Structure 1
Amino acid sequence: MSTADGRRLDPLVARGRRAVERALSDLPAGSPVVLGVSGGADSLALACLAAFAAPRAGHRPVAVVVDHGLQDGSGAVARRAAEAVGGLGIADVLVRRVEVGASGGPEAAAREARRAALETVADQRGAAAILLAHTRDDQAETVLLGLARGSGTRSLAGIAPVAGRWRRPLLALSRAETERICVLAGLSWWDDPHNADPAYARVRVRRQVLPVLEDALGPGIAAALARTADQSRADADLLDGLAAVLARTAVRPDTTVDVEALVSAPPALRTRVLRVWLVGAGTPAGALTRDHVLGCEALVTDWHGQDGPTLPGGVVVRRCAGALHLVRPPA
């Protein structure tokens, strides 16, 4: 395969372009697609690949450079990134300054602000998809963090390639490969100082844990963890689907849970139904722990008159007349 001027196209660039085309293959013809750009190597590589692949697939790319305003000079970084993306031939390039709150910590707050900005532009442009530049290294870090938290199969499933209109076409590429794509395109990227700050758990995984694993177990750890995510995601999707079917029988219209419908169910399905029930009843998902769910399960499988767990917000789970109820004790 060759470029327009007759030069041989680098196989890595060809692979990246095909990955972007596959990520867009099911979208309505002619629909715009939004690209999330930060100025880092990953997102500039995504813009470089999408500048070719999106129009070829019949989609107009809209690049959105998000300025979080968290560091001195962030506006200048955003402007340089926008200029670089414009130089790739993407005509629709926007810079959006966001206000980052404090809820959930700085990393989570920045992510939420960024996602909100991208969704707003996607809504305004009628975009069918929002493309993000997560790589195989991001996937490996996410799996290790999930493993450390003991969060179960869904956490080990890592970052989904497709989640609604969010698409991540570069999950099969390494961070080093996105840097290589930028070099080939003559793009200079910005290294976010936060990506080197050991105060963040993800940075410690990247700079300390993964290198130790590579040294002790040999190369290819990131790729192996990414494969684990793919396998875990397939398992989790199947179990979640089966649990949804069971929940339609077990969760009654009055929002109580029929004990008989759950008692003979496999534990993997039973605990999923209970978690879905609790979240659906208003328990914050981020505050709901494994112990809460297991305490509810004991009311189904090992009940001898005891109350269930007290949930965030003070609600107690109780078993009465063959059903689980959510009860708010009197003050």
Structure 2
Amino acid sequence: MLLAISGGPDSLALLLLAHQARPGQVVAATVDHKLRPESAQEAEFVSDLCRDNNMPHMILRPAQPISGNIQSAARAARYALLEQAAQDHACAFIATAHHGDDQLETLLMRLARGSGVDGMAAIRAKNGRIIRPMLGFSKAELEEICAAAGIEPVRDPSNDNPDFDRVAMRQWIAQATHPFQIERTNRTASALADAADALSWMTAVLAAERTTQVDSAITCDANALPRELQRRLLLHCISQLEPSLHPKGEAVDRLLVELEAGKTAMIGNILCRGGTRWTLTPAPPRRDGG
């Protein structure tokens, strides 16, 4: 099992517990995104800690500088590096230190954004080879584990920056009197994940029965289906023609309205014709207006 260890209290608690539960069966990895001057020293701190406890450790750094949407790009680079490291070291799983407070923050953030079933499934306990064994723990419990071991964790200043949505939500939760409990929050997220999996399974069955592709044209019969299944079939057809296109919920909802009205509309580079059956084709090349 590969452990993703940043040096913060959450991941250090994961490191300590995993080493105790599975001695000799874990490998630790720290991703240094090189976004802060202190990051190299923090990675070395984890490396020293692992060496002192006879645990193998590696420091992973992205080949290209992180740019654009920093949080999103850093996350993509982090998981790509962890996946490659797990493959190189024959690790069946990659464990991250997401905990119960993270789950609550994610659920409330998704709710605020108007997410559907997939988004409200929040942080899954298992997603491919990624596992999250700490979801049943609170942040305070993980801090206590580090304190009991006499370890002072790394503190990332970005975790206190309210310009980030998650930090703003975390601070709001800390200031509010609320009834949320970790066990119940995880139960809700798990139920929604099960519902999302069921809908994905049903969509695959319907796609086989109700869609036909000839060359680059897809015909879809979504007539009389529940709206969520119509929406998922539409997304399936879009992904078949343009895999890199990931339209947001509002754009898909608008397109559904157009198709149900028998109109023709565009999404990405796909021309969509509505009616009782939908037809999706790549849009014809644009003429040069010159």
TM-score normalised over the length of structure 2: 0.90
The alpha-carbon deviation at position 129 of structure 1 amounts to: 0.8
Q: Which residue of 1 aligns with 2:58?
A: 94
Alpha-carbon spacing, 1:192–1:243, altered in 2? closer, same or farther (3 Å): same
Question: How much does 1:222 deviate?
Answer: 5.0
Matches within 5 A, 1:1-331: 33-55=1-23, 60-90=25-55, 92-98=56-62, 99-103=64-68, 105-208=69-172, 210-212=173-175, 214-215=176-177, 217-218=178-179, 220-221=180-181, 223-254=183-214, 256-259=217-220, 261-282=221-242, 284-286=244-246, 288-298=247-257, 301-303=260-262, 306-308=263-265, 310-312=266-268, 314-319=269-274, 322-331=277-286
Displacement after TM superposition at 1:180 (Å): 1.0
User: Is there any run of 5+ residues in structure 1 with no aligned partner, and where?
Assistant: 1-32
C-alpha distance in 2, partners of 1:143/1:284?
A: 26
Q: Provide closer, same or farther for how the CA distance between residues 277 and 187 of structure 1 changes in structure 2, counting only shifts above 3 A.
A: same
Q: Please list the CA deviations of residues 37-95 of structure 1 after superposition, one character each: whole Å capped at 9, or x if unmatched.
A: 1000111111111112224xxx62111111111111221111111112333331x1112
**Structure 1 residues 238 and 321: CA distance shift in structure 2, 3 A:** closer
Q: Counterparts of 2:146 and 2:79 in 1: how far apart (Å)? A: 24
Whole-Å Cα distance in 2 between the matches of residues 225 and 51 of structure 1? 28
Specify the code of the residue in structure 1 equivalent to 2:38: G
SS of 1:253's equivalent in the other structure is strand
| Matches of 1:102 and 1:222, distance apart in 2 | 34
Aligned to 1:316, the other structure's residue is in SS state strand
Structure 2 gaps, min length 5: none
CA distance in 2, matches of 1:262, 1:228: 30
Q: Is the Cα contact below 8 Å between 2:35 and 2:66 reproduced in 1?
A: no
CA–CA distance in structure 2, aligned partners of residues 154 and 250 of structure 1: 22
CA distance in 2, matches of 1:88, 1:100: 32
TM-score by length of 1: 0.79
Amino acid at match of 1:249: E
Taking the aligned partners of 2:73 and 2:259, their CA distance within structure 1 comes to: 38
Identity %: 31
State whether residues 100 and 113 of structure 1, in contact with CA within 8 Å, keep that contact through their aligned partners in structure 2: no
- Between Structure 1 and Structure 2, how many residues are aligned? 284
Q: Deviations over 1:123-149 (max 9, x none)?
A: 111111111111111111111111111
> Would you tell me which structure has more helix in proportion to its own residues?
1
